[in-house]
Chain A
Amino acid sequence: MTFVGLAVAFLGFMIAFSSLGLAESTGARMGLVLAGIMVTLVGIMGVIVPAYQKTWIWKR
């Protein structure tokens, strides 16, 4: 799951970055960048953190 989380987090960056080519207006770019940030946060906090918590010492 760690690698899935990393892929989701990186996907968020790619969404934000691609707004430079996909959109012309500032509003559309802002929407895409915010969406990218949300996807990244889901990848980090929603996937990577729970995956790692399973291995931590107080869970064993």
Chain B
Amino acid sequence: MTKKLVFVFAVVLCLARAGTVHAQAPADAAPAAAPAAAAISAEDLKAAVKATDRANGDPDGSLTGTANDIAISDAKAGLTLTDVLNQIGANRIGVNFAWTLLCGFLIMFMQAGFAVVEAGLCRAKNANHTMMMNFMVYGVGMLAYFLIGFPLQMGGAGAIANLGGTPVLNSEFTIHLFGKDIGLFGNTGYLLMHHGTYDVAVMVIFLFQMVFMDTTTTIVTGTCCERWKYSAFMVSTMFLGAFTYPIFANWAWGGGWLAMLGSNFGLGHGYADFAGSGVVHSVGGITALACALILGPRIGKFTRDGKPNAIPGHDIMWVLTGCFILAFGWFGFNPGSTLALSGNGGLRAASVAVNTMLAGMTGSFGGILYMWIRYGKPDASMSGNAFLAGLVAITAPSGFVNPVASAIIGLIAGVLVCVSCEFVERVLKVDDPVGAISVHGTNGIWGVIAVGLFSDGRSNYGGSWNGVAGNVTGLFYGDAGQFVAQLMGVATLLGFVFVMSFVFNLFVDWFVGQRVSAKSELAGLDVPEMGAVAYPDFVLRPEPAMAD
């Protein structure tokens, strides 16, 4: 009897492995023939737990979850080997669905982190307005993404094996250039109904990608707070969620031309951005720069000779609490980007999570040390920004680098964000109340470059990345082509995404007007824009006199 059970178990394991290999096949591959329905005899099931065995409960859990729980497709035939194999497949994809969905929920909660960080860094008279931008960025961005953004981004992504395949996402608009097909945008999945996209795997990838997009849109609200007209914010966010983000995300993640730099032009594995330093953070930071240029600085931020005045935020408690909420959500952002815990490198999520922790830690150390040495005090808001900078920078490399490299990437990011904030404020004279251009823009680009430098060639996600066999390997480990692919991503972010964002926001400025009136700005935007103050029971102190 024991021998029989061992034999059946061995057969099941062998066939399960065959199923795993099949899951990596391209979308248009014909489905494998179903395995022969070998009946499992009543003898085999004699040892299975019976309902009566649980009459006294199951305090140690040893009787719960047995052969009795396997779904039987044909009651007459009883439990068959096909039933067992189907259950194994369903379990694998179920684990991956649960992981990806839960990580998506964690990322959604990052909206709360962004909201309190940004509100804490603005003055109390603008707190309601800043919170309301962060509140509605979720709905406005999601609507745009649902209507237009998702099909553009993922319509041509092809099958995602870890989610059981999404073969219906198979329409990419391409042009033929330099002898290759250059993918520009996807073209299926409108309203999640178009061409068979009413599909559970598509729903999972939609939810996960939607919360990524929303992170991008919420970056801009921080830079533009305290002077952005609410109506302009809504139109600008709609465009970012519908076009700017999805187009770059398609190029990087949806089978577009950047992802194909490896298979088409021999540049490493193509542009590699594991969880979005470039796709999410740089796109947000660069769009924030474009909007900040158009808006101009807040009244009183600079003296007439261009010297910056400090305008402190109203609640550092919220700022640092928000940083912790964001760091918590980042464990969905980066490890969740494996889209799996079962199969195709899913267990690498553990390494990704540790890399994320380490880079956040070294980032905060780097920022605190820089500020302490330069100004004599460890500045609280810059400590928070350095923490976030480390997390932003590790987002792209987290799936490809080792822990030591993660610590180095985070440390550099922590110092870089301080230098970048000074450069943006003192040289460019751009007013960024929360430092989002430096945290997300500058360090997002640093993260993209870090992939091309530090990837150690030890991360295997099912044997290939972006359709190129082998592991992503950076310049320090011998692949200069990967470094060039990453630089191409940087050139695209700066030269294409910035120009696209700038031109659209110029249109918004012309037709809607981006900036509130000086009177509203001086009064605080809570009443003129939102109709109510955030703290009605408190008496706000008058604006301190600033250097002229």
Contact = CB atoms under 8 A, between A and B. Distances in A.
A12 to B, nearest CB: 5
A16 B487 CA distance: 9
Interface size class of A (residues with CB under 8 A): 35 or more
Interface string B416-430: 000000000000111
A40 B297 CA distance: 23
A34 B487 contact: yes
Nearest to A18: B178
Interface residues of B, number: 38
Given A6-B502, A30-B484, A56 B495 contact: no
B296 A52 contact: yes
Interface in A1-15: 2, 6, 9-14
Contacts of B430: 49
Of A11, A17, A58, A59, most B-chain CB atoms within 10 Å:
A58
Given A20-B178, A21-B177, A58-B303, A12 B495 contact: yes
Interface string A12-50: 111011011100001101100110110111011100110
Contacts of B299: 57
B304 interface: yes
The binding surface of chain B is classed by DSSP as: helix
Nearest to B297: A56
Interface in B277-323: 289, 293-294, 296-297, 299, 301-304, 306
A44 B306 CA distance: 19
B267 A26 contact: yes
A33 B428 contact: no
Interface of A: 2, 6, 9-14, 16-17, 19-21, 26-27, 29-30, 33-34, 36-37, 39-41, 43-45, 48-49, 52-53, 55-59
24 contacts: A10-B495, A10-B499, A13-B496, A16-B487, A20-B178, A21-B177, A26-B267, A26-B481, A33-B487, A33-B491, A36-B491, A37-B490, A39-B495, A40-B494, A40-B495, A43-B495, A44-B289, A44-B498, A45-B428, A53-B429, A56-B302, A57-B299, A57-B518, A58-B306
